[in-house]
Amino acid sequence: MNIKGKVVIVTGGSRGIGRGISLSLAKEGAKVAVNYHRHPENAKDTAKKIESLGGEAMIASADVTSSSQVKHMVASVIDKWGRIDVLVNNAGHIAGGGLLDITEEEWDKMMAVHLKGPFLCCKEVVPHMIKQRKDEKGWAGKIINISSVGGVAGQSVMHYCTAKGGLITLTQSLARHLAKFNIMVNVIAPGPTVSDLGSSEPNTEEKHEQKRKWARESGKFPLGRIGEPEDIANAVLFLISNDYITGETISISGGWGTLYNELLM
């Protein structure tokens, strides 16, 4: 795969799945803009790791639900590298609650992060991708949205699953709308994965290992393990390398998504 020199924005790229994606892209020679919102120390650590691998990185602070901050983030990437080839909409959060427990504010926040955020990022990035189109055969850009198996088959975390399901249909609409520009848009739906999702602070490696142990012993995972950020990153790399896939949802769950089980952390 040849993505050397390609410029990629990874929202929520400083930890968890986003960090795994950022590092994997850097290993393949991409220039990575590591977006973060609340944890600058993690973004700095991820950027430092990328540079230790011989890659190029920049830290891009932005709340993806703020149009002004997204505009500034995209402009800063253009100022530094002059182009944007790939956008990975990964930023997200999760919180529990059923219909009678979820407040209006919690509902709005979930929709803002998982739907408004990708919309705003696409709205700012796509014009640059269109300008970069050189010929009818070459691709102008790739957009990869990170949803969840919960967006494919709703589970008990209702507002999260609803937002993730909306992200899948947003992906399909964008793919149809942007195909004429040779911009491909796809969505990855991870199953339970070792990450910091749902934690206000980064988890320790000990906590991650507890999740791995639980997955191995629970009998709920067909392949006998929980997903790793690198599993999702490999799917991102595949979609970037392929020039004839758009509008598709790829579940990366080790078969877990077919069981309709809940992962209790």
Looking at the annotation, which residues are catalytic? 160
Q: Are 249 and 152 in contact (CB under 8 A)?
A: yes
Q: Which amino acid is at 58?
A: M
Q: Which amino acid is at 175?
A: A
Q: Are 196 and 148 in contact (CB under 8 A)?
A: no
Nearest-angstrom CA–CA distance, 249 and 54:
32
Using only C-alpha atoms, what is the Rg of the chain?
A: 17
Strands (E) in 127-207, as ranges, are: 141-146, 183-190
Sheet order of strands, 249-252 included? 56-61, 31-36, 7-10, 86-89, 141-146, 183-190, 249-252
- Token pair, residue 50, equals 């990328």
